């Protein structure tokens, strides 16, 4: 039953193939590279890995643009390499998840090539084609005003067949038409069953709430008058038939007893989230809610300045996402701070002011994410406290199309105004997806041991690798890496409070220290985390009460009940 499903207590380690480990010195990570690091992964104490897309792709969006679901991107390896990885994981008792990207394909997928070949193609309506609109002076316009996630109109004109196709993401990522049952059947067979038959344990499901579009394709309200095209996620997320589609997809997953974690942006209401993950609905096992990672973003991601959040924002979002697991619902969710789409959590919520504060805030954030209920996700490099690329790096070091499109947009909008460009670069240095995508820092040899010295890696290696690397931290019992290993053991030893405990924010107006409770029947956790760079007074004795308690893990030696040092954090186990 889902009650004792393996995935509830699990910690899942996310791997970004391009940047994990290069085995053949072409500067790009690959499947044999991942294979060679399974000892390391297992030594962390995780239960499963999730591989970001390793499929055949022209890589406009790092493999989220898939040209063939049943083949592997050649620089990463072969289908046989994936099979070997599945076997090696299973031999070690690790589960393995693949990324399922089925809102769109690459424009080079055979399905789209056929679809665009003519209006009478048998696959024409596998994608979303609409005629042009014309304004009063006869100018051709797209069917509506939607902005694509990566900027510009969400519609692309096709000269050949004189119609527009929809792409919620890049031009090279045409949206599949889920209204067509034949398309859905092909997706299930090619993208899902092909790999399920090879024994994978489940999927991380990309953009899981975007498959059903309201067929009226009405305009989005104008929320940002600088923009010709308007953010429209509220219109295309959680569409009219989405639950019908996911229920249908759920039938396939059930056949293989596969787990799923769906990516659920733009869904702040707990009741709406529950409709995706309620156990009795048999749709998804769990979801990634975006409340926390979206804090401080404008209507477009890079309308942001560094540290434009308050602890009150953070605790409100934590409370909202934890509410799903308050013991009254049959739903399940996740706890995470990082993934391949997010800046590094220390740079965002912690401190890089000194090596000491870096380490302490890394451990404090680890205590936060690992003390929350749900399935825990850990992103490569997070376990060693990797940080954002330096602000000084040139814009040419950024490779993500989302970053580069934004920079070009500002260039065009302002006519290369230096102040605007400086602000844009600062925004990228703060929130770009590139920060998560630089090579993993393995050791202190040139290129951080990601690839050999003579090779130019596909993204620049962070300058801090001689100090900040996995090898050095593995030898140091006080390192961030050693802390994560200990923390995962502690979490595993007390699942009733860590994984399933009911979250209560017990000091909701505190703007400096995040104190919360995680309650089970006989025990509870009291977690106290200082989110500031200075000493903060607290009254822990009052929160801990008079029953026996002990500290399970902490990131600082002294243990005063009256104050927390900068970024100090503690997790107490209290008898009730």
Min CB(458)–Ca ion separation in Å:
9
What is each CA distance from 344 to 76, 206, 231, 379, 427, in whole angstroms? 25, 20, 25, 10, 14
**Alpha-carbon distance 95 to 469, whole Å?**
26
Nearer to Ca ion, 77 or 250 (CB): 77
Which has the closest alpha carbon to 214: 115, 149, 128? Answer: 128
What is each CA distance from 243 to 205, 234, 239, 248, 282, in whole angstroms? 14, 16, 9, 9, 10
Q: Enumerate residues 324-383 that contact ligand TEU by CB under 6 A.
A: 340-341
Q: Site for ligand TEU (CB under 6 A): which residue of 22, 61, 81, 568?
A: 61
Nearer to ligand TEU, 231 or 457 (CB): 231
Q: Is the Cβ–Cβ distance between 58 and 35 less than 8 Å?
A: no
Q: Is residue 22 near Ca ion by the rule CB under 5 A?
A: yes
Q: Site for Ca ion (CB under 5 A): which residue of 12, 16, 20, 30?
A: 30
List the single partner that 24 binds among Ca ion, ligand TEU, none, CB under 5 to 8 Å by kind: Ca ion
Q: Is residue 201 near ligand TEU by the rule CB under 6 A?
A: no
Q: Is residue 217 near ligand TEU by the rule CB under 6 A?
A: no
**Alpha-carbon distance 210 to 544, whole Å?**
45
Q: Is residue 301 near ligand TEU by the rule CB under 6 A?
A: yes
Nearer to ligand TEU, 340 or 462 (CB): 340
Min CB(62)–ligand TEU separation in Å:
7
**Alpha-carbon distance 247 to 184, whole Å?**
12
Q: Is residue 149 near ligand TEU by the rule CB under 6 A?
A: yes
Min CB(400)–Ca ion separation in Å:
20
Nearer to Ca ion, 30 or 201 (CB): 30
Nearer to Ca ion, 81 or 206 (CB): 81
- Residue 485: left (phi > 0), alpha (psi -120 to 50), or beta? alpha
**Alpha-carbon distance 435 to 438, whole Å?**
6
Q: Site for ligand TEU (CB under 6 A): which residue of 13, 16, 20, 64?
A: 64
Q: Is residue 440 near Ca ion by the rule CB under 5 A?
A: no
What is each CA distance from 33 to 40, 139, 413, in whole angstroms? 12, 52, 42
Residue 206 annotated in active site = yes
List the single partner that 211 binds among ligand TEU, Ca ion, none, CB under 5 to 8 Å by kind: none
List the single partner that 22 binds among Ca ion, ligand TEU, none, CB under 5 to 8 Å by kind: Ca ion
Which has the closest alpha carbon to 102: 206, 248, 201? Answer: 206
List the single partner that 400 binds among Ca ion, ligand TEU, none, CB under 5 to 8 Å by kind: none
Q: Which of 163, 263, 400, 434 is catalytic?
A: 263
What is each CA distance from 56 to 24, 28, 212, 338, 544, in whole angstroms? 19, 15, 25, 25, 54
Q: Site for ligand TEU (CB under 6 A): which residue of 77, 265, 449, 569?
A: 265
- Cβ partners under 8 Å of residue 385, min gap 6: 346, 358, 359, 362, 468, 480
Q: Which of 47, 206, 402, 517 is catalytic?
A: 206
Q: Site for Ca ion (CB under 5 A): which residue of 12, 15, 28, 440?
A: 28
Q: Is residue 452 near Ca ion by the rule CB under 5 A?
A: no
Token pair 């499901």 in the structure block, residue: 205
Min CB(149)–ligand TEU separation in Å:
5
Nearer to ligand TEU, 263 or 517 (CB): 263
- Cβ partners under 8 Å of residue 291, min gap 6: 268, 317, 320, 321
List the single partner that 468 binds among Ca ion, ligand TEU, none, CB under 5 to 8 Å by kind: none
**Alpha-carbon distance 466 to 444, whole Å?**
4
Min CB(164)–ligand TEU separation in Å:
19
**Alpha-carbon distance 172 to 212, whole Å?**
20
Residue whose CB is nearest to ligand TEU in the complex, by number: 64
Burial of residue 420, with CB atoms counted within 10 A of its CB: 0-12 exposed, 13-18 middle, 19 or more buried: middle
Q: Is residue 169 near ligand TEU by the rule CB under 6 A?
A: yes
Question: Total residues contacting Ca ion (rule CB under 5 A)?
Answer: 5
Q: What are φ and ψ of residue 92, in 5° steps?
A: -95, 0
Q: Enumerate residues 100-129 that contact ligand TEU by CB under 6 A.
A: 101
Q: What are φ and ψ of residue 513, in 5° steps?
A: -115, 130
List the single partner that 518 binds among Ca ion, ligand TEU, none, CB under 5 to 8 Å by kind: none
Residue whose CB is nearest to Ca ion in the complex, by number: 30
Q: Is residue 114 near Ca ion by the rule CB under 5 A?
A: no
Min CB(425)–ligand TEU separation in Å:
17
Helices (H), 49-161: 79-91, 110-117
Active site residues: 206, 263
- Applying CB under 6 A, which residues contact ligand TEU? 61, 64, 101, 149, 169, 206-207, 263, 265, 301, 340-341, 402
């Amino acid at each position: 039953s889902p009650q004792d499903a393996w995935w509830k207590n699990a910690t899942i380690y996310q791997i970004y193939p391009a940047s994990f480990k290069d085995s053949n010195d072409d500067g790009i990570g690959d499947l044999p590279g991942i294979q060679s690091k399974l000892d390391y992964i297992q030594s962390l104490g995780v239960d499963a890995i999730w591989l970001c897309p390793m499929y055949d792709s022209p890589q406009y969006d790092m493999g989220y643009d898939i040209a063939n679901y049943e083949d592997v991107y050649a620089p990463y390896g072969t289908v046989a390499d994936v099979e070997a990885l599945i076997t090696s994981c299973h031999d070690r008792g690790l589960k393995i998840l693949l990324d399922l990207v089925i809102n769109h394909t690459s424009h080079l997928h055979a399905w789209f090539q056929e679809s665009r070949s003519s209006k009478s193609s048998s696959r024409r309506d596998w994608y979303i084609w609409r005629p042009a609109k014309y304004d009063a002076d006869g100018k051709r316009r797209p069917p509506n005003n939607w902005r694509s996630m990566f900027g510009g109109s969400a519609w692309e004109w096709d000269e050949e067949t004189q119609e527009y196709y929809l792409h919620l993401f890049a031009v090279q990522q045409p949206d599949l038409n889920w209204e067509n049952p034949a398309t859905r059947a092909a997706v299930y067979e090619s993208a899902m069953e092909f790999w399920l038959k090879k024994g994978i344990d489940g999927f991380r499901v990309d953009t899981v709430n975007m498959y059903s579009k309201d067929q009226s394709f009405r305009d989005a309200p104008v929320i940002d008058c600088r923009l010709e095209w308007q953010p429209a996620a509220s219109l295309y997320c959680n569409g009219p038939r989405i639950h019908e589609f996911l229920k249908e997809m759920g039938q396939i997953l059930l056949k293989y007893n596969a787990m799923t974690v769906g990516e659920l942006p733009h869904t702040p209401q707990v009741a709406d989230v529950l409709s995706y993950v309620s156990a009795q609905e048999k749709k998804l096992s769990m979801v990634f809610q975006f409340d926390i990672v979206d804090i401080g973003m404008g209507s477009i991601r890079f309308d942001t300045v560094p540290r434009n959040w308050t602890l009150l924002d953070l605790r409100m979002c934590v409370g909202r996402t934890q509410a799903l697991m308050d013991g009254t619902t049959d739903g399940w969710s996740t706890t995470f701070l990082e993934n391949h789409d997010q800046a590094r959590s220390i740079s965002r919520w912690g401190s890089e002011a000194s090596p000491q504060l870096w380490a302490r805030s890394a451990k404090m954030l680890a205590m936060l994410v690992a003390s929350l209920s749900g399935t825990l996700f850990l992103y490569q490099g997070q376990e060693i406290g990797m940080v954002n690329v330096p602000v000084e790096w040139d814009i040419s070091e950024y490779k993500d199309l989302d970053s580069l499109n934004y920079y070009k947009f500002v260039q065009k909008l302002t006519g290369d105004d230096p102040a605007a460009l400086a602000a844009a670069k600062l925004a990228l240095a703060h929130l770009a997806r590139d920060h998560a995508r630089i090579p993993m820092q393995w050791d202190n040899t040139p290129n951080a041991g990601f690839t050999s010295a003579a090779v130019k890696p596909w993204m620049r290696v962070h300058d801090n690798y001689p100090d900040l690397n996995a090898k050095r931290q593995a030898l140091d019992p006080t390192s961030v890496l050693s802390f994560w290993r200990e923390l995962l053991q502690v979490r595993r030893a007390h699942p009733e409070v860590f994984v399933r405990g009911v979250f209560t924010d017990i000091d909701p107006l505190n703007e400096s220290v995040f104190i919360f409770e995680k309650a089970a029947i006989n025990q509870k956790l009291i977690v106290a985390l200082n989110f500031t760079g200075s000493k903060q007074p607290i009254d822990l004795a009052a929160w801990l009460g008079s029953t026996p308690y002990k500290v399970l893990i902490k990131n600082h030696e002294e243990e005063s009940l009256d104050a927390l040092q900068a970024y100090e954090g503690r997790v107490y186990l209290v008898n009730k």
